Amino acid sequence: MKEHIAQLLETALSTLREEGTLPDDARPVIQVDRTRDSSHGDLASNVALAAAKSAGMPPRGLAEKICNSLPESPHIADTQIAGPGFINFFLSGASAQAIIDEVLSAGDAFGTNEDGNGESLQVEFVSANPTGPLHVGHGRGAAIGDSLARLLSANGFNVSREFYYNDAGAQIHNLALSVQARCRGLSPDSEDWPADGYRGDYIADVAQAYLAGDTVDAADKHVTAAADPENLDAVEAFAVASLRREQDSDLRAFGVEFDVYFLESSLYKNGEVAATVSKLEQSGLTYKEGGATWLRTTEFGDDKDRVMCKSDGSYTYFLPDVAYHANKWQRGFKRVINEQGADHHSTVTRVRAGLQALDMGIPHAWPDYVLHQMVLVMRGGQEVKLSKRAGSYLTLRDLIDEVGKDATRFFLCARSASSQLTFDIDLALSRSNDNPVYYIQYAHARVCSVLGKLEERGWSWGSENGCSSLERLDEDAEKALMKLLASYPDIVRSAATALEPHTIANYLRDLAGVFHSYYNGTRILEEDAGLRNARLALSVAVRQVIANGLALLGVSAPEAM
């Protein structure tokens, strides 16, 4: 309908140009948006304001001329001029009702588009080092990142999901020392326990499996234990594979899969870190101070210069980060989105600065970042902090096991990533209207229940029958539902553009709320077959859009609850 109205406006402007009311070069961008207030119509355009200067007349005067030149359309019941010159469009009943047929015809594809034109795009998320089970913060990153990938795919992008992690370095060495200590019979309370060792019960599990000579198959690691506690390299390889397997298991339970697992160690093995150092040194932007090598990242907007190489010759995290992103660019990803925790805020400017210093033609604001804030988990009004298995934090698996995948995923991405999130376990478990995921899923299940009752009464329904009587849908709640259905494709597009999957969650709550009110106040299974079929068509269309929206969030749409 937006495109239809835009075409009507373009025809009107062409007429005004032919008449000489508008100069030939008056070709404003025609923007049509949905209104927030139904009293202002269904759709509105600011085209008169955009073209007023070139027309040499007040916007309202131009708006009147545009309205007078609009071709007739069976989809437009009325047009009105508002404010300084906005043109509001009121859709006809037939136009509003046509959305039902559109939803039912498109099915699972309703709301998708080809805006991305198949462009390759990468979303990196989770990227947890294999030193312990995934925590709830990783879970929020997984929920947001996977939903972003689903949204972007729905908008026509060819999305690659990537998991980047460090399989070497100090943290991994401490992991190996911790497992080795357990293999030797030590406990975290022992005086000989590694100073920076990991203390969770999972370390004991890994040690036991290592001594038993187990084989581990993870998504990107396949290792058989040497069963020799003195072989630290073998302990490390087995421990990394074991933790990666546990992460894989948790992510599968969360409905998340990845296309690529990228190892930080490969950047060293392939010489990419060394090549990055050489390029940066050749740029003339490096200098020595205090025995360390620095990069003048302040030249590119950073608040201070960054150390590349420490005085002991080792590299800072900054350097492999820059090398890794240069690798992404060289792989052909002209658009990359990194979903990370808010503690990565300082990396945004410095990574972009490092990439600019490489002078590879990378845009200044590349890559994009979505940074999520912390999660506070509550039960019974008290914060839940610890997991026996992890030792010092609540794991994602703890949450999934307690409230289920659907509630966990929905709650973790139902608010803007930039907002801190309180995850109320009691609310997530409740079967009430206060629980948003239950409320939305229940609306879907209610439509399924209505269809079941239809069969019990010996009635039949088909979309072709329901869509032949849609003119009978004239109640306010029915009009509100049709308007919400019509707005869904715009919601999907805008959520992807803004990288905000919580927009889908908000929309689904609104749609479910209007449907529940409609269901409670309207008799759907009327004796009158025409009216019954029309209401069923509307209800089934609502069910379809709820299912489509939940799928973008990785949440199921149950038929019974």
Range 97-114+432-552: architecture per CATH: Orthogonal Bundle (1.10)
Higher pLDDT among residues 43 and 461, named by residue: 43
Q: What CA–CA distances, in Å, run from 113 to 136, 232, 377, 481?
A: 33, 52, 37, 22
pLDDT digits (tens, 9 = 90+) for 240-289: 999 999 999 999 999 999 999 999 999 999 999 999 999 999 999 999 99
Give the mean pLDDT of the chain. 93
Residue 78: is it exposed, middle or buried by C-beta count within 10 angstroms (0-12/13-18/19+)?
exposed
Name the band, by pLDDT with cuts 50, 70 and 90, for residue 237.
Answer: very high
SS3 content of the chain, % helix, strand, coil (to 5): 50, 15, 35
Q: What is the pLDDT of residue 463?
A: 60
- By residue count, the chain amounts to 561
Question: Given a cut of 70, is residue 466 above it in pLDDT?
Answer: no
Average pLDDT value for residue range 367-384: 95
Instruction: Please report where in the chains the tokens 């929905």 appear, as a residue.
Output: 410
In tens, the pLDDT along 172-218 reads 999 999 999 999 999 999 999 999 999 999 999 999 999 999 999 99
The pLDDT value given to residue 460 = 83
* Strand 375-379 versus strand 421-424 pairing type: parallel
Q: d(Cα 318, Cα 292) in Å, to the nearest integer? A: 13
Percent of the chain clearing pLDDT 90 (strictly above)? 82
Count of other CB atoms within 10 angstroms of residue 253: 15
- Which of 34, 29, 28, 27 has the alpha carbon at shortest distance from 2? 34
The Cα 124–Cα 325 span in angstroms is 11
Contact between residue 147 and residue 155 where contact means Cβ atoms under 8 Å apart: no
Distances (CA, A) of 35 to 2, 301, 476: 12, 39, 17
Confidence of residue 112 (pLDDT cuts 50, 70, 90): very high
- Position 345 scores a pLDDT of 87
Output the pLDDT for position 462: 73
- Asked if 241 and 259 count as a contact pair (C-beta separation under 8 A), the reply is no
How confident is the model at residue 398, as a pLDDT?
A: 93
Give how far the C-alpha of residue 346 lies from the chain's centroid of Cα atoms, to the nearest Å.
22
What value does the CA radius of gyration of the chain take, rounded to a whole number of Å? Answer: 29
How far apart are alpha carbons 160 and 149 in whole angstroms? Answer: 8
Amino acid at 207: A
Mean pLDDT of 318-344: 96
Q: What CATH number does the domain located at 2-90 have?
A: 3.30.1360.70
For residue 229, whether the previous peptide bond is cis, meaning omega lies within 30 degrees of 0, is no
pLDDT given for residue 465 in this prediction: 59
- DSSP code for 297: G
- Mean pLDDT lowest among 61-70, 148-157, 378-387, 516-525: 378-387
Tell me: pLDDT of 76 over 70: yes
Q: Which pLDDT does position 464 carry in this prediction?
A: 61
CB 149 within 8 A of CB 258: no
Lowest mean pLDDT, pick from 233-247, 367-381, 387-401: 387-401
pLDDT score for 317: 87
| One-character DSSP codes across 198-267 | --SHHHHHHHHHHHTT-EEE-SS-EEE----TT-HHHHHHHHHHHHHHHHHHHHHHTT---SEEEEHHHH
Higher pLDDT among residues 73 and 168, named by residue: 73
Which H helix or E strand runs over 182?
A: helix 170-183
- Of the pLDDT bands very low, low, confident and very high (cuts 50, 70, 90), residue 319 is very high
pLDDT of residue 461: 81
pLDDT at residue 113 tops 90: yes
321: amino acid identity, one letter: D
pLDDT digits (tens, 9 = 90+) for 409-422: 999 999 999 999 99
Q: Where are the domains of the chain?
A: 2-90, 97-114+432-552, 170-254, 375-429
